[in-house]
Structures are given as structure tokens and as C-alpha cells.
Structure 1
Amino acid sequence: MNAFAPTRTSWRPRSLRWQVMAAVIAINLCAALAALVVIIANARRATEIEMLSSLAIGARFVQETVERIADEQGGTASLAQLPLHINGLRHVRIRIEDAQGNGIDLAPASHDEADGDADEVPDWFTALITVPPAERDIPVVENGRRIGEVRVAGEASDEIAEVWEDMTSLAVLALIVNIAILAALYLVLGRLLRPLKTLSQGLQELEEGRFDHRLPPPAFRELALLAERFNALGAALRLARDDNRRLNERLVQVQDDERRQIASELHDELGPCLFGLRANLESLERMTAYAPVASAAERVATMVDILDRIQGLNRRLLRRIRPMSLGHVPFAAVIADLVADFEAHSAGRRFDFVSEGLAEHYGDSIEITVFRCVQETVTNALRHGGARHISIELRHDAASGMLKMAVSDDGSGMRANALPGLGLIGIEERIGALGGRWHIGSTDPKGTRIDILIPLPPANVQAESAERTVIQ
């Protein structure tokens, strides 16, 4: 595995154009090597066939020439006359020998051209094409006596020279064609890869937070789809950034509103209560010396009332920040206590709370989400809808694995085309974070109904305890 690591490392940094060009060049080299093997195999076969055919033709020609000369001279054939009649044959070598074995070669000029062509052929190519030699001996008889012989040998150099010439011509042509193809491929790849370079620059723009950047549509359908998806991604990221900015602004505003409300309640309620408590304690201290016991009891009762108000205020503030009973008290009891607190501070209003099949606990995220949803929807119904009757239903649907909540009222309902307030936006964000969904609509004849569905994790599909609580 390590042996291939340098190759992969050196290959990956290369551009796609370079890799494609290198792959095409490698394929062409492999094709050229395969073509060379085929050419050599065919050339060997063709050379052998051509040499044997030329040998047969040359031997037949020499035999007929010897017989013709012998007939013309009355049965004798002169060795001196043979070179004049059998000179100039191609693809064969002819040697005339007398009876003693002395050679009488043909004129060297008869093979100069063939030898010149053969000298241009590389030795390695000649070694690849050369076939086993073949020859034939033709006796020369004069007056019934053998005076010599003509040796005809096949010569492959002429055929090899022709094959070499043809192959070099094809190689030059193939080289020119491949250069033209590679040049065209280089230009075409440049045009094809230009949109990818533009895409890379666009991704860098997105990485730097410039989500308004858009890519021009390329001329190629596949790359045009890629550019279209990139532009859609940029638009989605821009919307997400804008939404995050708006949510952050709303979050800061909600936090400021909560701090303002808490500060107002501390100033308007807790401050006077503490002042009154201090004043009564000082009065009680002065009265204990000479006042009757009844006056002291009256002051003590006043202080008890003030302490009750402080405790109530403390509970409301804690519930607004975070209910302390969550996770410690059964969930249905926490919601029932919230509804009871609304009823205690909303004189003349009627509240109905129904819970069915609820488990003891659902985890902090689900419980605080449901708590805030009940708190916000009831507050909206009282503050903005002027509702006189509010009904809250909370059910655990084990079949669907959902926690279902419905809050309905008989208030004035939502105005047409009214924009959702920060409370409803907060509900949507909380439910969306848990993968749930919600719907707000009108009831007949008047009022508003909000339905919320929250998926439960597998551990809560089967409720730990099933109970039904009704508060009227």
C-alpha cells in the first residue's frame, strides 16, 4: 500500500486538464505499442510469405533460363552467360559457382538500391522482422556433365525496408493526428473546466459570506444545472443569514422586554412591599413599648400580607424565568399549577385543563417547550384576545408517538393579515427545534385555536404512567 502512496500524492495535486491529457497520452502510447506488436507480427508473416514466393519464382526463372540457354547451345549451358540473363531479380540473392565451388557473383550494381534501402532500417527492427533463411540450388549441366550450380537464396531485406518505410510513414501520420487531437482536447477541456473554476471562485465567495454572488449559466446543460443549484444555495444561505439576523434582533428584544418587565415588577411591587414591611417593623418596634397588644397584632397581620405578596411575586418571577418544579414534579401537575396560577390572577375568567395519558417526565427540552407554549398562548388569549373562557388539552398519543396540545379560547380571534408577534415566533422556533409542527386558526363562532404536535423520543412512546386530570 505504501508503494502507491507517492504516485497518488503526485497525481492528486495535478489539474483535471493535466490528468485527462496524461491519460489520453498513456492510452495512445499503449495503442501505439499494441499497433507495433501487430505490425511486427504481420510483417514477419508477410516477409516470410513474400520471401518464399520470391524464392520459388526466382528458382523457376533460373531453372528455365538455364534450360533455355542449354537448348540454344545444343545441350550446353555456359556459366559465363548466366549472369547476363538472371541479373536484377528482387527479394532473392543469386550466386553462381563452378564445379570447384568458386563463386561467380552477379554484378554488384544489381542490388545497390535494395542494399541502400536496407541500410536505412534500424538493426533492432531488422532483428524483429528477420525470418529463417531459405535457399535452393539449381545444377548447371554441360554435355551431360555438371559444371556448376546456381544458388538462389531468399532475401528479406527488401521486404523489411518496405515495411519500415510504410511504418514510419504511418507513425508520422499518427503523430501528427495525435498532436492535433491533443491540441483540440486541451482547448476543449479548457472550455469545459472554465465553469468549474468559476464555481470554485463562487464557493470562495460563499465561504467569505458574500451570499449575493451568482454564477452565470454555462453553455453546457450539466454545468448549467450545477450553476443553478449553486445560485439556489446562495439564495438559501442569504435567506438563512437574514433570518438569523432577524432572530438575533428579536432575541435581544425579547430579552430586553423580559428584563424590563422583571425590573418593572421589582420596582412597582417588590419595592413598595419592602418599604411597607420596613415601615411596619419600625412602627411595631415603637409600639411595643407603650401600645396595646391589639395594635401590634394588626401590624403583624399587615406584614404577613406583605410577605404573601412578596412570595407570590417571587413565584411569578421564577416561573417566568424557569419553573423550578420542572423535572421534580409530575409534568401534568406542573401544567395544572400553571393553569391554576392564571386562574388565580384572572378574576372572572374560566379555565379548563384536560391531560390524558401523560408520562411522569418527558425530558427538559420537551417539558419547557410545552410549558412556554401554554404560558404564551394563554397570555395572548387574555391580553390580546380578551377571552373569558380558555380550554387547554394535553394528550399523549402512544400510537403516533406524539404529544398533542390544543389551546382554544372565545376571544376576539386574530385579525386578518395580522403579523405574528414575538410570542408566536418563539413558539414556532421552539416547536421547530424539536421537529414538531403547529397550526393556528379560528373557532366557531369566535375565538382562536392553536394545535401543537411534538414528536416524542422512543423512550417516551410508552407513557410511564397514564392519568387523567381535569381542572374546571
Structure 2
Amino acid sequence: MAGRFWQGWGIAARLLAIAVLPASVMFIAVTATLYFTAQADVRRDVAARGQLIATSMAQSSQYGLVSGNVAYLRTTLRHLLDADPSIACIDIMDTINHAVASDCQDTLPSESDTFEVPIQIESLPEVDLFEPSPAPPTSGPERVIGKVRVTMSPAPILEAKRRALMVAFALVLGAAVLSCLVGLRLARRLRDTLGSVMAALRAIRQGRFDVQLGERHEGELGELQTTIVRMAETLDGARHELEQQVATRTRELEDAVKLARQADAEKRRLIVHSNAVVEEERRRIALDIHDHLGAALISVRLEASGLAARARSLGEPDMEGDARRIATTAESIYATTRDIVKRLRPEVIDTLGLAGAVEELVRNAGHVFPQARFSYHAEPGLPDLPGELAMPAYRVAQEALNNIVKHSQASQVSVRLSKAPDGEHLHIVIEDNGRGFDAASGHSAGIGLIGMRERVAAAGGALAISASPGQGVTVSLSLPFRPGAQA
């Protein structure tokens, strides 16, 4: 408890305690010592004086007691009582304890000490007056003829001592107050110094290093002040150096970010250009296949059909069968060529627009993957995307549906096309309830997903893929209706 009591004190309270407590303890100790010493001295003084007065009275009252001069004895007692107020009563008694002379102070004390001394005289020697003795007479043994009783009161002496002690207490108190004032002055100076030191440390902690410590001192306090000032100067220099380093690193980082942004912009332009080149090449190849290979396959099929007709008219069944197989094969190759042309350049985008092309993708996926139920919804009145934006959206939808068919094992698939609330962007959401994957791990981000992100980012759009194991996958695509706008 004492430790906790001291821990709650501040510097001012501790310095005040250091200044006041020693002086207070010294005052109490000196006062108590003087008081108890004075009481003991008074007790000893009263005992010595009482015994001395009783002995003196026993010797001086022998004649008055023997001669019966009571007036003399009473006068002596009154003089003693008037001369010494510490004597409360004096009684002179005979051998049968009958008071011969007695006198007391006007006010009897509550506390007193009694001292008794016998009154003795020498017995007269037995001398024969008619027959002289060669030897001198000797005194006989002393005999008691009475006693003196002295009652002493310590109160008058204690009162005198009390007045003397009050003067001593006043002097000690003055010294204690003076020492407290001196201690308080020294403590105040020390507190002011420590307060300036604490204020400087708080300023340093808050990042202000131009500290002011006021009056400088000698000794340990001066060394502490000098150390704090030098520490502040060192920290200020380190801060400036660190700020310069941070500014340099910031400029370098800004340059690196600018270069990265430039590189990213160049990459996106390259992706857009490469996608355009690829799409153009696909279009050219599709046209070449459609115009040349398709026409050739149609010609082969027609020639085979004509050959089969002539063989039938000539009665050549074997030739007719061969010709029909050639025609069937040509038809099959032509259908395959048509599918290849559609994949290379979906002409349905040009004829039906993006919404119709995506709907055809959903329909084809339902034919290829009949285990799942596909649903499609397009918001009425959607604006048509230009070709350079429609193709990335179509490719993303195509890749997402291909992934569902290949990997999802889903039973429900939904595709929704809608316009964003701002009216400037197209939203496409493709969602399934398949097995999904851990999107946070980063291990499942294959080339297809990376290609989807890059393709959409190059077109100024945004792609979000949310997935978790057993919870399916949701692909959200946002593309601006106008080229150059940001999603």
C-alpha cells in the first residue's frame, strides 16, 4: 500500500514531502525530547528539594519544638511557603503525630509528593556535679522528639518549565519553518528545472526539437540539461536526414510508379492492338475459309451428288454409294468448317449484337452440357457495344461458359446482362452453383482467368471473380458503352 501511495505522487508533491517531512519530524522529535526531559528533571528536582527542605526543617525546628515556641515554628513555615511555591504543606509533629505547627498554600495541588524526616536531639550526658570525673563527658545517643512532613507539588516548577519549553518550542518551530521554507525554495527550483526537462522531453516526443530549458544549472542538473539539448539536436539532424531520404525514396517511387503506369498503359495498348490484330486475323482466316474452303466443299458435294445421280442412271450401285459417301463427308467437313468460322469470327455479333451472341453461347452450352439448367436474362433496351468492346465481352462470356462446362459440375447456371445505375456501363454476371475453387489461394488462377482479366482491363473495364470451394463461381464483368471510358 505504501508503494502505491507514493506512486500516485507527482514531482511537486515528492519534492514538497522531501522539504517538509524532515523538518516536521525533527520538530516533533525535539519537542517530545524536551518535554519528557523537562518532566523527568522536574520530578528529580522536586524530590531533591523536598528531601532537602524536610531535612533542614528537622534540624532548625529542634529548639522550637523542645522549648515549645510554636510561634517561631509557624513563622518559619510561612516564610518557607512564601519563598517556595512548590511547597504545598509543611507539618511539624511530636512523637505522637500531633501537629505542633502546620501551614499550607492557599490552593492545594491535585498531584503531590510527601517527604518525612525525624526531628532528633542528642541525649544529655550523666554528670555528677559534686564529684568531678577525670574523663570528659560524652554525649548520649540521639532521641526522636518529633518529625517534619513536607508535601511538595511539581505544578509550579512544571509551569515554569512549561514557559521555558514554550520559548524553546517557538525557537525550534521557527527553525523548522525556516528549514521548510529553505527546502521549499530549493524544491521549487528543482521542480522548475525538472518541469522544464519534462516539457522538453514531451516536445521531443511530439517531434519538436527546438527545446528551451530556461536557466542552466551546474552539476548533475546542468549535465542533464546539456544532454537533453544535444539529444534534441541529434534527433533534429536525424529527422532532417530521414526526411531527405524519404523525399528521395518518394521521388524514386513516384518515378517507378509513373514508369509502371506507362508500362501498364503500353501493355494495355499492346493487348488492345494484339487483340485487334488477332481478331482481324481471325476474321481474315474465317473469310478465307468461308470463301475458299467452304466454296470448294460445296463444289465437291455438288459434284459428288451429280456423280451419284449418273451412277444411279447407269445402274452402278457401288459408284453411287461411293459418290454419296463423298457428298456426306463433304457436308460434314463443311459443317465443321462453319463451326470453326463461328469460333474464329462470331458473325452473330454483327447480325444479332452482343446480347444475341451471348444468348447463343448460353444455348450452345446447354446443348453441350445438358446436366445443368442454363438461364439467360438480358435487360430490355440495352445499348449496343461497339465491336472493339463487344468482342472482349463475348470472349469473356465464352471463356466463363467453357470453364463451367469443363470443370464446374454445376446443376444451375445463370447469365444476366444489365445496365449499370450510372447508365454508362454494361454489367454481365455469370453464376453457377458448382464445386468452385479457392480464389484466395491464387493457385487456381489459370491462363484463362488471367487472359480474361487482361482482355477486360485493356478495354477499360473491370472483372471480378468470387469463388469458394463448394459454393460455385460468380464472374462479374463491367464494360463502358463508349470506348475510352473507365469502369
Q: TM-score, normalised by structure 1?
A: 0.45
Q: TM-score, normalised by structure 2?
A: 0.44
